[in-house]
Amino acid sequence: MSPRAYSDQSRGMPALERLPEWTPEVDARLARVGIWVWIGADVTFFAAWFFAFFYLRALNNNNDWMAAGVTHPTRAIGAAIFLLFAISAGLFWVGARSVVSQRATALIFFWLALAAGIACFVVQIYEFRNLGFDPQMGGGYPSVFIGMKGAWLIQVVGSMLWLASNIAQTKPNGDVTVRPASATFFGYFLVFLAGIGLISYVVLYFV
């Protein structure tokens, strides 16, 4: 299980980077285009949730969009959830800009970003346990709230794991240092997810 099993340099073979299809420039371009396509796909994913929100709200079948006794959850907590993730995305973005020139500083930003993301997760779990309504009792709004936030949370967890792996690779000869473009474009995804967090905050807590 030696880490050297993952490196060609140790086996005396020519570095892959010299092959035209594996140069860092090619990887950078693939990362940029790939992340935009992925973000586009994720846009339609969340669009389906927003459609569910507005459609069920308009239909208000059996007057059960928001039954009596169901209210919007606390806006402060919702704001905290969004802001923590936005901070995480912002910190990572700043860090990724300087990961080559000032690696140590970038690492600090990345750690702070991870901390903010984990805090966001914790607060969201807290909110799920203190909603003020029980989705098992039915109702359109509770269903969409749980579903949309749950889907967003799953993507938050996945991106925090990837962020952690970026931290681990921000070291001399690490993947992020040798190929910083993939970290930069991962930052785009975090900003996108923060944007969805903002829109869902407005829609779920104010509409």
Partner 1 sequence: MAIAAIGNGGPSIQTSERQMVLPTNLLTGIVLAAVGYWAGVQLGNSFGFNDGLNTGVLLGYVFASIMFLVGLGFANYPLARLFGWPVAPQSSYDEHRGAWRYLNLSLDHKVIGIQYLVAMLMAMLFGGIGAMLIRTSLLSPDQAVVSPDNYLTLVSMHSVMMIFVASAAIVGPFGNFFVPYMIGTNRMAFPRIEALSFWLVPPAIVILLASPLFGGFPTGWTGYAPLSEQAGQGFDSYIVGFTLIGLAICLSGVNMLTTVMCLRAPGMTWTRLPIFVWGVFSTSILGAFAAPVLASALSMQALDRTINTSFFISSNGGSNYLWENLFWFFGHPEVYIFILPAFGIVMELIPHFARKPLWGYRTAVVGLLGVTLLSWFVWQHHLFVSGIAPALRPFYMLSTEMISIPTGIVFLVAFGTLWRARISMTVPMLFCLGFLFNFLIGGLSGVFLSDTPSDVTLHGSYFSMAHFHYTIVGGEIFAIVAAIYYWFPKMTGRMLNMTMGKIHFWWMMIAFNLAFMPLFAAGILDMPRRVSTYLPSLQGLNDWVSIWAYVLFSSMIFFAINVIWSWFFNTKLAPADPWHARSIEWELPTPLPARNFDRVPTFTRAPYDYGDPQGARPSVDLGPEPAPA
Partner 2 sequence: MSRTDRTHALRLLVAWAVLSVIGVVIAMQVHLPPGNQSQQSTDTTGLLQLMLVISTPVFIGVVLFILYSAFAFRQKAGALEDGPAYHGNFRLQVAWVAITAVIVFILAGLGISGLAATSSGTNFTSSTQPALATASVGTTAADRLQVQVIAQQWYFTYRYPAYGGVESLHLILPVDSNVVIHVTSTDIIHSFWAYQLGVKADANPGVDNLAYVTTLHTGSFTVRCAELCGIWHGNMVDTNGAVVSQADFATWIAGLQKAGATQVLPPYQPFYFPSPRVKGT
Distance of alpha carbon 92 from alpha carbon 98, whole angstroms: 10
Under the criterion CB under 8 A, does residue 16 sit at the interface with partner 1?
yes
| Residues near 181 by beta carbon (within 8 Å), at least 6 away in sequence | 24, 27, 28, 31, 32
Which one of 2, 61, 101, 173 is in contact with partner 2 (CB under 8 A)?
61
Which one of 40, 138, 150, 158 is in contact with partner 2 (CB under 8 A)?
138
Under the criterion CB under 8 A, does residue 136 sit at the interface with partner 2?
no
Under the criterion CB under 8 A, does residue 62 sit at the interface with partner 2?
yes
| Cβ atoms of 92 and 113 closer than 8 Å | yes
Give the Å distances, CA to CA, from 3 to 9, 15, 21, 127: 12, 17, 25, 41
Question: Which of partner 1, partner 2, none does residue 12 bind to, with CB < 5 to 8 Å depending on kind?
Answer: none
| Cβ atoms of 177 and 99 closer than 8 Å | yes
Distance of alpha carbon 141 from alpha carbon 21, whole angstroms: 50
Under the criterion CB under 8 A, does residue 30 sit at the interface with partner 1?
yes
Question: Which of partner 2, partner 1, none does residue 161 bind to, with CB < 5 to 8 Å depending on kind?
Answer: partner 1
Q: How far is the CB of 126 from partner 2 (least distance, A)?
A: 28
Under the criterion CB under 8 A, does residue 101 sit at the interface with partner 2?
no
Which one of 146, 191, 198, 203 is in contact with partner 1 (CB under 8 A)?
146
Q: How many residues bind partner 2 (CB under 8 A)?
A: 3
Question: Which of partner 2, partner 1, none does residue 101 bind to, with CB < 5 to 8 Å depending on kind?
Answer: none
Question: Which of partner 1, partner 2, none does residue 56 bind to, with CB < 5 to 8 Å depending on kind?
Answer: partner 1
| Residues near 164 by beta carbon (within 8 Å), at least 6 away in sequence | 114
Under the criterion CB under 8 A, does residue 34 sit at the interface with partner 1?
yes
| Site of tokens 């997760």 | 121
Q: How far is the CB of 133 from partner 1 (least distance, A)?
A: 11
